[in-house]
Structure 1
Amino acid sequence: MAYKAVFVGVNKQLDQTVNELPGAKRDALALWSLFSDTFPDLSSTLLVDEVATKEVTSRAILEALDIASDEDVVILSFAGHGTPDGCLVFYDTVSTDLSGTTLPMTTLADAFRMTKARAVLFVLDSCFSGHAPARVLEVNATPRSAFSLENVAGDGRVLLAACTATQSAWEQPGTGHGLLTAALIQAMADGMAETVSFPAIADDIIQLTRVAGERLGYTQTPVFLGHVEGGLVFPRLKRGANFNANFPSTNVVHVNGPFSDLLPHGFPDEIVEQWVARFPHGLNTLQMRAVNEYAVLAARSLMVVAPTSSGKTMVGELAAIQSVVAGQKAVFLLPYRAIVNEKFEEFTARYGEAGLRVVRCSGDASDSVGSILTSRYDLAFFTYEMFLSVALGSPHLLSRLGVVVVDEGQFITDPRRGITVELILAMLVRAKERGVSPQLVLLSAVLGELNGFNQWLDVPVLLSRERPVPLIEGVLDRNGTLQYRDADGAVKTEEMLPRHAIVQRTKEQSSQDVVVPLAQKLVSRGEKLIVFRNSRGKAQGCAKYLARELGLGRATAALGALPEHGLSSASHDLRFCLEGGTAFHSANLTRTEREAVERGFRSADGGIHALASTTTLAAGINTPASTVILAEKEFLGEDGRPFTIAEYKNMAGRAGRLGFNETGKAIMLADNPIERAQLFARYVQGRPEDVASSFKNEKLATWLLRILSQVRGVTTAEIPGLLVNTFGGYAASRANPAWVPWVEEQISELISRLLQANLAEDESGVIHLTLLGQAVGASSLSFESGLRLVELVRGVDWATTSSVYVLCLLQVLEEMDDVNAPTLKRGTTEAVRVSQTTQRFGLRAAQLLQRFGADQHQMWKRCKRACIISDWIEGVAVDEIERRYTTNQFWAAVNYGDIMNIADTTRYHLRSARGVLTALLLDNPELLASVEELIPRLEFGLPTRSLPLLNLPIELNRGQRLALIECDALDSEAVFAMPDDALTQCIGAESSAKLREAHRELASSAPGAV
């Protein structure tokens, strides 16, 4: 008796609209390896991904059946998508031509009947009815045929299908296999018996699959059909050379330091070589402990608490690559879009050539949401908010992840962003109950007491206070005395500046008096400085006076990289600073300008010696400095809140980066010796604050709504348990036994409010959110703001109202009231904003902006924000917007950073409004489409008619696009038709040349091109 086999697994799809599968290829590889290792004389064909086309696969399967003799056993396995009318989907299947690019199961049924084979075993890990991300191809208006699984089976023909014709076939988190294939391997390879036989083993496979499906919350019951006289007996499948080659142990439990230790575990040569080049000394102590003591490369979750520049980011990077090597996805969650963009570009350059697909998702047009939803990626970078949004809308995202790396995990304590981080972690904790448990690697700066944070997450903690680059921290007073803690921990003082060097340079004493002589001394020694300031204006001013005082050469490369169009007042200031070898880094700069500054500062010969920055630069952007100067010790505009110790440590940690400096220095400024001693005791010698949830009892309604948006339905009695599942609830219930009874008392009233607002429904005691409730619960809004938004939307006659009115409506939300629009607080100068609002949005707009307790001053700020947004999306130049809305240059100056903060925050909350509008106005698709159009208009600041310019093959900045609009070049065709001199005048010589080249490449690659 001879065995013939064809194993097919299709993860990848040529058609970009088809969802990719992470486990189908592994299914085929595993079964081929096991059967090949067990049957040395097996005649087999393995077809996966690009090789598994319709032609090649159909021929292989049909030929295997056709040439089989009456002594042969034919084994066929298919893992991949099916279609609702009973067809198998291949790599080259096209959703618009299913009949021509798929293989009908009826064709296979005919071949099964015609074959002479003694027996045929067909393992079908696919489904024909289901939904993404099940193993079914979703197509619209596809008629269901009379196809039946029974038609494939018969005498001597055994079919083992993943599920019934009305169910979905799912993949198992962790193993990277379909549920059926995982159960088949467990039953045929992991048992104690020397032989296995069908149909005897079928019940085991069915039960294993059903249990795995139920744990995930799905009903999946495999189908076993057909029979073979005398049974179909196989020896227990063996894991031999083929299996070990295709599935090497990626679990690394010990390394000695060199990255080459990872090569035997499947890590690609190209990636290991890169690591060796970046870190020739191999893994540092922290990283080796993570691998050897905490098994981070054996998929064990871990919290790493260590100072900046300690190497903890590499721990997450190692875990991510290990996950990809094991056939799973990896995601990094980061606090800011700027860091997402930086990491995306860095990892694309680093790993793209090794074949890894790197994507990002930060809420911008450049996002790869489509790739993420169709699993067409290996590494993804998200902001916290976007990950939570995508995971709530597409729950299958979690089940396909091998690791979630949460960077800057201390943000859980942030008053505004902490709720998002905590809800993400609570979602991961709760997913474990369903068997979905991607590895969690949480990276954090040094923290105080954890207060049970690690116990709530059920992860061990790797704590280190060591830095590869030692850090000296100190406080300098106006007498020039520096009190500091040396790298060895000893407390010392020294006269860092002579007293005569510190002179009053303006009408009043200021930090400038100390910063200038300190910078002069440090820069003269070849050091690079970051001066942290607590506002955009102060950072800008600091860079300007340092440019005047230091007498440095121009930063030529950075100047050459700056955009030439759409300049703001900050753009002109930046040029002045770069001419003097300094720069500033803040939201007042465009992304292109910030990137030019970052590159110039990182480069040893970039010409930028001193960088003045707002505090956001402390959160992970790669800007190594030898010395960091903290000119203030409190935030501006937040009621003068002092820096927390953790915030100070993050800023101080920017000093001294591995590969750049042997020692880093962090210097905080004080006014006098008494304050110097106080600041030294608090910040240098102090311990960071304890971990605390941002959960507050007064925010219970918001937390309840957010939690309910993550579950299908619960009874009222189960709700306190959901809240205890959060870190805040966990900590509160531990600290106060009466907390849960208190929550139970509040639940009834909150549920009543949800029901009355039509945000929830009660079905026989089970509470679940309505479509409207899901939209509000998954939004960025508080409970009260969500109710406010619903009321506002319902109060508008949208049949006679433009979609742009939504932008005005959003300004009434409490989240938008937190967004600053610099406004004079005295007199009635700003009252003009009311008439400006009426001109842009109509008479009702001014009335709307008075809603919900707004006093006169708050109303004017709302009007000002609405007007700024209106001008921004209509293409008014930045410098003109700055001029129009700057009431007083010193007290109420509107800068580019203010404009972008207003536009970006409105865009962020517009996504929430879009969900509410969709739930309430399903019968108005034109309005909804128009609202959707507002999102790119807010991002790019363009009028509707010019949106086609976003489709140009190269990226242009807003100023360049506005220049094209002035020339009536509103789409690609018009742009490419422009004379060279006109195009150059609009977008500059460099961009013009790039655009022409991109156009030629597109033309040469077009169908029919010669």
Structure 2
Amino acid sequence: MIRAAFIGIDRYHDPLIRDLNGAVRDASALWAVFSDAMEGMEAALLTDEQATLEAVEAVLDATLGVATEDDVVLLSFAGHGTADHRLVLADTRAGDVLGTTLAMAQLATRFRESRARAVVLLLDCCFSGGAPARVLDIGLVPRDIIQPLVEITGQGRVLFAASAVDQAALEDPGTRHGLFTKAILECLLSASEPVSVIGMADRVVQLVRADANRLGYDQTPVVFGHVEGELLLPAGRRGQRYFALFPERGSARTTGAFEDLAAFGLPEEVLGAWQERFPQGLNALQVAAVNEHGVLDHNSLLVVAPTSAGKTFIGEMAAMKAISEGRKAVFLLPYRALVNEKFEDFSAIYGDQLDLRVARCSGDWQDQVGDVLRGKYDLAFFTYEKFLGMAVAAPHMLHQIGLVVVDETQFITEPGRGMVVELLLTHLVSARTRGVSPQLVALSAVIGDVNRFDRWLDCGLLQTVERPVPLTEGVFERSGRWSFVAAEGDVRSEQLLNHAVQQRRVQASSQDLLVPFVRHLVSQGEKIIVFRNARGPSAGCAEYLAQELRLPPAQSVIEALPVGDLSTMSRRLRAALEGGVAFHNSDLNREERVAVERGFRDPAGGIHVLVATSTVAAGVNTPASTVIIVETAFPGARDHQQPYTVAQYKNMAGRAGRLGYESHGKAMLLADNGLERNNLLRQYVQGRPEPVTSSFNSNDPGTWVVRLLAQVRDVPRDAVIDLVANTYGGYLAILQNPHWRESMTQRLALLLDRMTSDGLIEEHEGLLSLTMLGRACGESPLRLESALQAVELLRMLGPQPIALETLLVLVEAIPERDEAYTPQSRQGEAGWQQALNRRYNPEITRLMRYRAPSDRAFYARCKRALVIADWLDGVPTGEIEDRYSANTFSRVGHGDIRGFADGSRFLFDSVLRIAAIVLGRADDPEAVSALLRRLDFGIPVDALPLTLLPVALARGQILALWRAGLCTSKQISGASTARLEGILGTGTRQLITHLVTTSPGPA
């Protein structure tokens, strides 16, 4: 008889051991295929937490130990190996590898002592190779490469290993089996009669070699040992056990009821949670994604639909399907605030309720980068930039992922963000040529012509302009009438106010229209968002609406606001909330914005009107019944205003119409007269959003090339054009110009020569690769010219020691930072040059002038550096605002301060990496981490322990405790409740109780 045991481990108890994706799937499939083929076969299946060292040894006793001369023992192991030939079990500890692993030498002894007629070991792990291989790399070096494997074998003993001992054993991203196990299954399942183990070996070797080459690796399985006669294994069969583990669901469909989705293998607890959130079931868009586009059958899909159409839930369904199959899912989002919002929402739904591991990586101190790189997550949220940087620097990460959801994909057309969106999508598209092909679900707001975007992505297209809540768009003018486009497509008019709008002050303004109109809408019970084009107008508008409307205070929101470190906008927000109105802009801190968003969503929150800048339109969950869009251009000099695109207008308008609250929504522009009304109707209401375009610039390909080269290893010089042509911009260019490739090749030749002379590229035997410096530049978010300017600045700095905070100052001299808006007087503010001299030294100030486009830009660099220095020192926000505001018209607000700190933090990692190469710096990682956390919080070094408390504190609370000399948990636990309440405020008793009870007492 055949005695068998199948062992597969994806998840390891020790957090230092990287999780796998396909090992459990390997063991389960082999167990099922053999068990279905041979009824009565004694076969054990140990996976994940079951596969401890003790359990595996017990299984070996039950197979090898009890086998007789008539028995064949079949063993398979899928998981990590170590460099000194040990099998890593679920409870292996990295700190005690020798005592918690199973050595191949121990297996050799068991094989020799077993009475079995024959023993076959299928070993899908490796003893070298590194990620994405199945090997635990902790620095052990094998003393003898071949001998431990040879000792396993002997008469009647066969070891069939996934790879040679100096090669990786890889996982196939498509089937999520190891390449070795995948080939064995193919041989077994394609056979119609028993399969010879030795005869199968040649076929498995061919299949694995071909698949590994497609992934860009070498992997050749090896066979040790021999048997007399022919050792046969039964032909495989997919039967009851197999289909219970791997059901075929290609024909499953849904009527819109969540219970239908059980046929796709989605767990009941997930379906129950969805039913509770969405009792109405799936909408038409979501049903189409499932039935017509196979989004739950691993098919990639581009979804283009209006705000509130239910796009995000399509990605959510695909994510739960991937996770239910043991794969990992990631969501990519444009803003850190959205990453935090989605992380909190999904943690509550899937982490707390369903025990899934939810992670985030957005570029702040809370990031779980280590967990993600080790595969210790099920669902993760990234900003675009963070995902691209990690995927390029750690290629194995993409091998772990089964689904990528890219939200707000229309950002590919944005001048500032388009490059990174296109580069990350190019990375995913290019990975398919290496056999790495996670399912892609791209979600986009309404766009114009798709412009072959779906063809470039090689995915299906689901496009609609229908909304679950109908939206009427139009223009409201001073006559009190509004003109709108009816459902039939014609323009109609309706008198909303029974009188013309009166001019309220010396000059006509939008206030004339807003006050009576918003008063009318509020009287009808509506919730309104008023969009303004800048921070100042948004706060001012909220203040005068609160004064004029005199609504009851939004008391619950006021009580939820942080009480310390108030900015000018913090005080203005409180004043507006006293009249039932709020505003939302970047001058509010995160806690204030979250309180406003929650208060507006809550029907009992007391906020009837929200005045916001356009960032609210980019995914923040703040639905309204009516949206009023006051301006149609971003501010600037009169001749340099940037008009809204139609897509930007449509996104703002799309915030109108609350599902479950209204039967329809209204979006209104404001006009002074009939001529302006007609123009706005034609340009925006009836306008078609702009087509999808690429931000690739054929005349300036340097940044694209260095970042594309960072995504590959060695590449022939004449193949660089293929990297460029593989971008969306290259794809469109080739379609439009048959000679584009030829002209771009000539341009690239000159560029590559220059990059070689700059020390970014080296060539060996006809292959190009990035140098250490080139890779540092290519894996950074810096443009090529900016990276080279950073190199020049660092070389000018010379070898003298320089503090991390001083190096942070030089970040402000990089061209990207010159683009940061810095409020200052018309001629610039020269005094900040002297202030920087006093703070640092004249040499640093001299470097800050390097290649500054103007004196005014130089003064702005100095000003930003000083603002950040004060922020790090814990200077109160209001004091920083007053100190650096030149006048009423060029005020520095909290949003500017936070923006300066975030912008410098974003580039600081790249500058540090370049500095390590150029200057040979070896900065202490803990010191770097501490500085980055100080940038996040705006606090001095002594206050850092307060960020590690089990209770999250706002900046004002941290600074208040720091100034009171309470900087550690022991100091806090020793303080009285009365003293803490005096420091943190009278409305913080619950927080104080939590602080005291969770902080350890004095030792």
**Given the two structures, how large is their TM-score scaled by the length of structure 2?**
0.97
Q: Does 1:626 align with 2:625?
A: yes
Aligned to 2:767: 766
Residues 859-911 of structure 1: CA deviation (Å, up to 9, x unaligned): 111111010011111111111111110110x2111110000111101111112
Distance in 1 between residues matched to 2:661 and 2:2, nearest whole Å: 62
Range with greater deviation from structure 2 (505-514 or 581-590):
505-514
Mapping of residues 712-791 of structure 1, within 5 Å? 712-791=713-792
Structure 2: where are the runs of 5+ without partners? Answer: none
Aligned to 2:223: 224
Query: Given residue 348 of structure 1, which amino acid in structure 2 is its aligned partner?
Result: S
- Give the direction of change, closer, same or farther, for the CA distance of 1:126–1:141 in structure 2 (3 Å limit): closer
Residues 240-291 of structure 1: CA deviation (Å, up to 9, x unaligned): 1111111223546522221111112211111111222232232221112222
Residues 732-752 of structure 1: CA deviation (Å, up to 9, x unaligned): 222122322221221122112
Aligned to 1:154: 154
Given that residues 373 and 397 in structure 2 are in contact (C-alpha distance below 8 angstroms), is that contact kept between their aligned partners in structure 1? yes
- Give the direction of change, closer, same or farther, for the CA distance of 1:794–1:27 in structure 2 (3 Å limit): same
Query: Given residue 391 of structure 2, which amino acid in structure 1 is its aligned partner?
Result: A
Given that residues 71 and 118 in structure 2 are in contact (C-alpha distance below 8 angstroms), is that contact kept between their aligned partners in structure 1? yes
- What number of residue pairs does the alignment pair up? 999
- Give the direction of change, closer, same or farther, for the CA distance of 1:186–1:32 in structure 2 (3 Å limit): same
Tell me the secondary structure at the aligned position of residue 67 of structure 1: coil
Aligned to 1:961: 958
Aligned to 2:587: 588
Alignment partner of 1:903 out of 901, 904, 915: 901
Aligned to 1:880: 879
How far did residue 629 of structure 1 move? 0.5
Given that residues 785 and 813 in structure 1 are in contact (C-alpha distance below 8 angstroms), is that contact kept between their aligned partners in structure 2? yes
- Give the direction of change, closer, same or farther, for the CA distance of 1:921–1:27 in structure 2 (3 Å limit): farther
Aligned to 2:667: 666
Distance in 2 between residues matched to 1:737 and 1:434, nearest whole Å: 27
Mapping of residues 778-857 of structure 1, within 5 Å? 778-826=779-827, 830-857=829-856
Given that residues 940 and 958 in structure 1 are in contact (C-alpha distance below 8 angstroms), is that contact kept between their aligned partners in structure 2? yes
Given that residues 478 and 499 in structure 1 are in contact (C-alpha distance below 8 angstroms), is that contact kept between their aligned partners in structure 2? no
- Give the direction of change, closer, same or farther, for the CA distance of 1:251–1:373 in structure 2 (3 Å limit): farther
Query: Given residue 913 of structure 2, which amino acid in structure 1 is its aligned partner?
Result: G
Aligned to 1:981: 978
Distance in 2 between residues matched to 1:563 and 1:14, nearest whole Å: 39
Q: Does 1:175 align with 2:175?
A: yes
How far did residue 777 of structure 1 move? 1.0
How far did residue 789 of structure 1 move? 0.6
Query: Given residue 715 of structure 1, which amino acid in structure 2 is its aligned partner?
Result: P
Q: Does 1:935 align with 2:936?
A: no
Tell me the secondary structure at the aligned position of residue 563 of structure 2: coil
Alignment partner of 1:894 out of 882, 892, 897: 892
Distance in 1 between residues matched to 2:982 and 2:134, nearest whole Å: 53
How far did residue 770 of structure 1 move? 0.6
Q: Does 1:436 align with 2:436?
A: yes
RMSD, aligned α-carbons: 1.9
Aligned to 2:571: 572
- Give the direction of change, closer, same or farther, for the CA distance of 1:1002–1:18 in structure 2 (3 Å limit): farther
State the identity as a percent. Answer: 47
Given that residues 15 and 95 in structure 1 are in contact (C-alpha distance below 8 angstroms), is that contact kept between their aligned partners in structure 2? yes
Distance in 2 between residues matched to 1:431 and 1:837, nearest whole Å: 47
Distance in 1 between residues matched to 2:354 and 2:926, nearest whole Å: 40
Distance in 2 between residues matched to 1:995 and 1:549, nearest whole Å: 38
Distance in 1 between residues matched to 2:199 and 2:985, nearest whole Å: 75
Distance in 2 between residues matched to 1:508 and 1:918, nearest whole Å: 59
- Give the direction of change, closer, same or farther, for the CA distance of 1:201–1:970 in structure 2 (3 Å limit): same
Aligned to 1:456: 456
Tell me the secondary structure at the aligned position of residue 633 of structure 2: coil
Query: Given residue 132 of structure 2, which amino acid in structure 1 is its aligned partner?
Result: P
Range with greater deviation from structure 2 (169-178 or 631-640):
631-640
Query: Given residue 40 of structure 1, which amino acid in structure 2 is its aligned partner?
Result: E
Tell me the secondary structure at the aligned position of residue 382 of structure 2: strand
Distance in 2 between residues matched to 1:530 and 1:205, nearest whole Å: 63
Given that residues 803 and 927 in structure 1 are in contact (C-alpha distance below 8 angstroms), is that contact kept between their aligned partners in structure 2? no
Residues 265-322 of structure 1: CA deviation (Å, up to 9, x unaligned): 2111111112222322322211122222211211111111111111222221111111
How far did residue 384 of structure 1 move? 0.9
Residues 772-805 of structure 1: CA deviation (Å, up to 9, x unaligned): 1011111111111111011111221353322212
Distance in 2 between residues matched to 1:996 and 1:947, nearest whole Å: 21
Aligned to 1:554: 553
Distance in 2 between residues matched to 1:748 and 1:928, nearest whole Å: 39
Structure 1: where are the runs of 5+ without partners? Answer: none
Alignment partner of 1:947 out of 913, 934, 944: 944
Residues 329-362 of structure 1: CA deviation (Å, up to 9, x unaligned): 1111111111111111111111122232221111
Query: Given residue 409 of structure 2, which amino acid in structure 1 is its aligned partner?
Result: G
Residues 412-450 of structure 1: CA deviation (Å, up to 9, x unaligned): 100110001101111111111111111111111121122
Residues 662-708 of structure 1: CA deviation (Å, up to 9, x unaligned): 10100011121101100001111111111111112233111111111
Aligned to 1:280: 279
Aligned to 1:266: 265
Residues 595-652 of structure 1: CA deviation (Å, up to 9, x unaligned): 1111100011110000011101101111110000001001124831110000100000
Aligned to 2:616: 617
Query: Given residue 149 of structure 1, which amino acid in structure 2 is its aligned partner?
Result: L
Given that residues 527 and 626 in structure 1 are in contact (C-alpha distance below 8 angstroms), is that contact kept between their aligned partners in structure 2? yes
Query: Given residue 971 of structure 2, which amino acid in structure 1 is its aligned partner?
Result: A
How far did residue 962 of structure 1 move? 1.0
Range with greater deviation from structure 2 (890-899 or 656-665):
656-665
Distance in 2 between residues matched to 1:607 and 1:739, nearest whole Å: 59
Given that residues 250 and 322 in structure 1 are in contact (C-alpha distance below 8 angstroms), is that contact kept between their aligned partners in structure 2? no
Aligned to 1:357: 357
- Give the direction of change, closer, same or farther, for the CA distance of 1:857–1:499 in structure 2 (3 Å limit): farther
**Given the two structures, how large is their TM-score scaled by the length of structure 1?**
0.96
Aligned to 1:599: 598
Distance in 2 between residues matched to 1:653 and 1:688, nearest whole Å: 13
Aligned to 1:536: 535
Given that residues 630 and 670 in structure 2 are in contact (C-alpha distance below 8 angstroms), is that contact kept between their aligned partners in structure 1? yes
Range with greater deviation from structure 2 (749-758 or 109-118):
749-758
Aligned to 1:473: 473
Given that residues 953 and 995 in structure 1 are in contact (C-alpha distance below 8 angstroms), is that contact kept between their aligned partners in structure 2? no
How far did residue 108 of structure 1 move? 0.8
Given that residues 973 and 1000 in structure 2 are in contact (C-alpha distance below 8 angstroms), is that contact kept between their aligned partners in structure 1? no
Query: Given residue 439 of structure 2, which amino acid in structure 1 is its aligned partner?
Result: Q
Aligned to 1:58: 57
Distance in 2 between residues matched to 1:787 and 1:569, nearest whole Å: 39
How far did residue 44 of structure 1 move? 2.3
Q: Does 1:184 align with 2:193?
A: no
Query: Given residue 343 of structure 2, which amino acid in structure 1 is its aligned partner?
Result: F
How far did residue 145 of structure 1 move? 5.2
Query: Given residue 892 of structure 1, which amino acid in structure 2 is its aligned partner?
Result: S
- Give the direction of change, closer, same or farther, for the CA distance of 1:140–1:990 in structure 2 (3 Å limit): farther
How far did residue 731 of structure 1 move? 1.1
Given that residues 882 and 895 in structure 1 are in contact (C-alpha distance below 8 angstroms), is that contact kept between their aligned partners in structure 2? yes
Distance in 1 between residues matched to 2:749 and 2:100, nearest whole Å: 56
Distance in 2 between residues matched to 1:252 and 1:441, nearest whole Å: 21
Given that residues 564 and 984 in structure 2 are in contact (C-alpha distance below 8 angstroms), is that contact kept between their aligned partners in structure 1? yes
Given that residues 625 and 654 in structure 1 are in contact (C-alpha distance below 8 angstroms), is that contact kept between their aligned partners in structure 2? yes
Given that residues 360 and 382 in structure 1 are in contact (C-alpha distance below 8 angstroms), is that contact kept between their aligned partners in structure 2? yes
How far did residue 141 of structure 1 move? 5.2
Distance in 1 between residues matched to 2:325 and 2:62, nearest whole Å: 33
Aligned to 2:423: 423
Mapping of residues 43-442 of structure 1, within 5 Å? 43-140=42-139, 144=143, 148-189=148-189, 191-249=190-248, 251=250, 253-352=252-351, 353-442=353-442
Given that residues 392 and 778 in structure 1 are in contact (C-alpha distance below 8 angstroms), is that contact kept between their aligned partners in structure 2? yes
Distance in 1 between residues matched to 2:112 and 2:71, nearest whole Å: 15
Mapping of residues 3-18 of structure 1, within 5 Å? 3-18=2-17
Range with greater deviation from structure 2 (634-643 or 851-860):
634-643
